[in-house]
Homo-oligomer: A and B are copies of this chain.
Amino acid sequence: MVTHFIRRVNYYETDKMQCTHHSNYVRFMEEARVDYLDKIGYGFKRMESEGLASPVIGIDLQFKKTTTFDDLIDISVRIKSFSGVRVEFEYVMKHGKDIVCLASSMHCFLDKSGKPVSLKRTSPELYELLISESKE
């Protein structure tokens, strides 16, 4: 599935160059990823209730054009790859027809004690879901 998350840029997210400060796109990615996981039926809250955390272990962002206050950014999200241990999300952010940012984030899965888990064994439903989503 590719989901779309629309995000308006807030005034406090701009900087003195009149543009959206680049650090905020990392936050937009999180908002869009939360929305994606909700939409595929395995949101943060469900993961938390099952004692599962999915911390960010890497991010990469390429900025193509600037945006500013009040701009609507359309963030499309999909799962690029899933190894069984790590999942990579891919983000395409557009303002109108223009691509403004291309990004990816890599995540692992930890249990409550902070140890890596084998999703296949501990959360087979999530495992199958991520396998399935990564093939689309």
Chain A residues in contact with chain B, CB under 8 A?
10-12, 14-19, 21-24, 26-27, 30-31, 34, 43-45, 53, 55-63, 66, 68-70
Chain B proximity of A88: nearest CB distance (Å): 13
Of all chain B residues, which has the CB nearest A108? B63
Known: A11-B16, A16-B16, A44-B70. 4 other contacts (CB 8 A): A10-B30, A12-B21, A23-B23, A59-B59
Q: Which of B23, B58, B63, B68 interacts with A12 by CB under 8 Å? A: B23
| Complex Cα spacing A58 to B27, Å | 15
Q: Is the CB of B60 within 8 A of A56?
A: no
Determine the chain B residues whose CB is within 8 A of the CB of A45 once the complex forms: 69-70
Q: Is the CB of B23 within 8 A of A10?
A: no
Q: A23-B26, A23-B27, A45-B70 are in contact. Are A55 and B63 (CB under 8 A)?
A: yes
Determine the chain B residues whose CB is within 8 A of the CB of A27 once the complex forms: 10, 12, 23
Q: Is the CB of A60 within 8 A of B60?
A: yes
Of all chain B residues, which has the CB nearest A33? B11
Of all chain B residues, which has the CB nearest A56? B22
Of all chain B residues, which has the CB nearest A103? B59
Of all chain B residues, which has the CB nearest A101? B58
Chain B proximity of A126: nearest CB distance (Å): 18
Q: Is the CB of B16 within 8 A of A15?
A: yes
